[in-house]
Amino acid sequence: MGFVLKVMGFLGWALLSLIAIVPVVAARHRPWSHSKKVNISEEDLVTELAGQPKVEFSHYAGYVTVNEKHGRALFYWFYEASSHPEEKPLVLWLNGGPGCSSVGYGATQEIGPFTVDTDGSGLKLNPYSWNREANMLFLESPAGVGFSYSNTTTDYDTLGDSVTAKDTYIFLHKWFNKFPTYRHRSFYIAGESYAGKYVPELAELIYDMNKHPSLHINLKGFLLGNPETSDADDWRGMVDYAWSHAVISDETHKIIKESCNFDKGDPWSNDSCSQAVDELLNQYKEIDIYSLYTSVCTNSTSSNDGSMQVMYNSKSKMMPRIMGGYDPCLDDYAKTFYNRPDVQKALHVSDDLHLKNWSICNYKIFREWSESRPSIVPIYKKLIAAGLRIWVYSGDTDGRVPVLSTRYSLGALELPITRAWRPWYHQKQVGGWFQEYEGLTFATFRGAGHAVPTFKPSESLALFASFLAGESMPSER
C-alpha cells in the first residue's frame, strides 16, 4: 500500500481531476468508415506519410504530455487493427535499451504494418504485422528516446525504471482521453530486451493502481521476447551460452565460473573475473551478439539495442543476412527515414526538435541510467498470483539475452509444469519448443535472433495470435 500511495503522490491531483472530468466512453462497435471516425483524436491522424503504401486502416502519431510543469512529452504511433478494430484488443509495445526507440525497432523493423525501405525513401507493407490481430500502440519512452523529449534538461539526469513506469502510466491515462473508445478495451503489454523490466514494472503499477476504480485499466497480461529478467541469471546464461556455442574458450569459461559472483551484481569486482568477462565481450565484437550465425552490417556506423556499441567501419557493400531475409543495416535505413523533414511533419513531430536529430538509440541515456531493478522475478510471482496471462519467448540464436538466461530466470520461479517440453509447429515445420507452467508459458523460436519477429515474422504472428486467444501453441504438424 505504501508503494501505491507514493505513486498516487507522484501522479498528483492534476491527473486524477483530468480523468474525473473527461467523460469515460466504453468500447463500442462502430461502423468502419474512412470518412467519419467516432471518438478518435483527429488531430493526430497520419494522412501524408512519404512512401506509405495504401492501407484500409487508420493510424495516428503525436505527443502526450506527461508532465506539464517540465514540458515532458512522449511520442507515440498507433495503428488500428487492419480489420474490425472495434472488436480487437489494444496492445502497447515497448522496446528496451534502455534508450532505444519502439518506433524505430518494433514499429518499422519488427511487428508494425510498415517497414522502412532500403534507401530510407519510403515504406513497404509487412504482411505479418501484429495489427492483423490487435490495435497496436508503440511508445518512445522515456523522454529523450526518439522523438520524445523534455523542456527541462535535468529530467534526463534522473531516468530509471521507476520514472519510466510512472510516465508510461500517466501517458496511458491521457492517451485514453484522446482515444476514449479504447479505455475499457482488453489491454496487453508486449516488448523485448530491456523491456523485460519495463513491461512487468508497468504491469505491476497498473495492477496496484487498479485498486482505485477511477484509474482502472483493463489489463489482461503481458508478452515478452528475449527479456532481461534477473541480472545474475542473465549474466550466467550469457556466459554459458557463449561457451556452449563456441564463442569463448574452455579456459575463459572456467575462469568466469571460478572467479565471478554475479549475484553481487558486478562482474568487474576482481581482476580475474573482469579480464575474463572482457574477453567474452571482445569476442562478440567480431560477430553480431544479437544473431550469432548471420552477417554483420559492413557499411554501418550504428549499433543495435543493448549493452555494447560495436562499430562497423568497412566501406564494402552490405552483406545480407541469410535467416529470414533479415537485413543487418535496418538501423541505418530507419535513421535516414525518420530524419526526413516531410516524414517528421507527417508524424506531427514537435517543431521544437531539431531535424537530423532522431536516432534509434540514445546511448547517453543507456550509459547514465540511474535505476534498474536487479531482478523482476518477484513481480512475476505477484502478477502470476493475480491471474494475469504471462508468456515469454526466446530466439535461440541470440547471445545478448540468450535462451539460457531466460531459462535460468524462469527456473527461479519454481512453477509447477502443466504441459511438458515439446515442439510447436508452424506450416508443418518445427517453429521451436514450448513448456506450460501454472501461470506462465515459455516458447523458443528455432533459428531466431534477439528481435524474433524480424527473423521469424510469420511464426511470431502465430505466437501472438495464440497468446491473445489464450490458446496453446500448436503441438501437431
Catalytic site residue from 398, 409, 460, 466: 398
Residue 286 main-chain phi, psi, to 5 deg: -85, -20
Cα–Cα distance measured from residue 47 to residue 32, given in angstroms and rounded to the nearest whole number: 17
Residue 404 main-chain phi, psi, to 5 deg: -65, -40
The single-letter DSSP state of residue 295 is -
What is the residue-wise DSSP string for 274-288? HHHHHHHHHHHTTS-
User: Torsion-angle region of residue 229: left (phi > 0), alpha (psi -120 to 50) or beta?
Assistant: alpha
Residue with cell 490495435: 135
Residue with cell 565481450: 281
Task: Provide the 10 A C-beta neighbour count for residue 323.
Answer: 17
Exposure string of 37-75, with b = 16+ CB inside 10 Å and e = fewer, is: eeebbeebebeebebbeeeebbbbbbbbebbeeeebbbb
Cα–Cα distance measured from residue 108 to residue 306, given in angstroms and rounded to the nearest whole number: 18
Q: Which three cell numbers stand for residue 263?
A: 549475484
What is the residue-wise DSSP string for 413-434? T-PPEEEEEEEEEETTEEEEEE
**Any bridge partners for residue 78, and if so which?**
60, 137
Task: Tell me if 92 sits within 8 A of 78, measured CB to CB.
Answer: no
Residue 193 appears among annotated catalytic residues: yes
Catalytic site residue from 193, 302, 394, 466: 193
Pairing, β 149-150 against β 59-67: unpaired
Task: Provide the 10 A C-beta neighbour count for residue 119.
Answer: 10
Task: Tell me if 436 sits within 8 A of 418, measured CB to CB.
Answer: yes
Residue 398 appears among annotated catalytic residues: yes
Catalytic site residue from 173, 348, 426, 450: 450
Q: Which three cell numbers stand for residue 245?
A: 556455442
Q: Which residues are catalytic?
A: 193, 398, 450
